[in-house]
Amino acid sequence: MQQNIVDKVKNNPKYVELVRSRSLWGWTLSLLVMIIYYGFILVVAFNKELLAQPLYEGTIITVGIPVGVAVIVASFLLTGLYVWRANSKFDDLTKQIKQEIK
């Protein structure tokens, strides 16, 4: 009986859409996070002087500090974007699939 339910779910077009959409969002956002993090690390590795410049004349705060904060904030925002999408579209599709299987 359980295999019958699994087969119904796997053959449901909404399930296929859910898996495809969730995978696409997950991979896209993961790629964006990797580009942001690795880009920051590459700048640190190959152009330290850029991040070591003072933010403005007479300060000890360097350009690297707001850039580092931006990397962290971007990660939170991208995570929030995924959660928002998951709580809206992905959860709706899951509910629809459950209703169709009953």
Domain housing 20: 2-101
pLDDT tens for residues 1-10?
Answer: 588 888 888 8
| Tens digits of residue pLDDT in 48-79 | 999 999 999 999 999 999 999 999 999 999 99
Tell me the pLDDT tens digit for each residue of 9-42. Answer: 888 889 999 999 999 999 999 999 999 999 999 9
What is d(CA 92, CA 30) in angstroms, rounded to the nearest whole number?
23
Q: How many domains does the chain have?
A: 1
- The pTM for the full model equals 0.79
